[in-house]
Amino acid sequence: MEPRQRPQQPQPRSQTESPPQAEARQERSRRPEGSGGQAKVRRGRSIASYKRPELVEIVGHVAELEPDLTDDQIVELVTRLLGCPEDEALLVGARLRYAVEAYREGTR
């Protein structure tokens, strides 16, 4: 007989987590593992490790969850979600602005 496994408990929501962050976290937790075309977000990972299509996909998910955000607000939110190293701040901003622009072009 196999030992019983406990069902995974949802992680408690942080007191400092904003509603867009909470929604983005919940959306990621609803996605099945290993599903094709789903960009994986791991906090603290270098921005250089993300391919352009992954960044466009991440930006797109945030833009769909929060349609009232401006492009700058999307860049700011995704920057916080990714949690890339501080010394990459300029590169993170540039790559995410490009991703937002590419996403917007694809939705026109």
Domain ranges of the chain: 52-108
Quick one: pLDDT band at residue 30, thresholds 50, 70, 90? very low
Q: 18-44: string of b/e by CB count within 10 Å (b at 16+)?
A: eebbeebbeeeeeeeeeeeeebebeee
Taken as a whole, the chain contains a residue count of 108
Structure-model confidence comparison of residues 93 and 17, the more confident one: 93
pLDDT above 80 for 56: yes
- The pLDDT, as a whole number, for residue 64 is 96
The backbone region for 38, taken as left when phi is positive above 0, alpha when psi lies in -120 to 50, beta otherwise, is beta
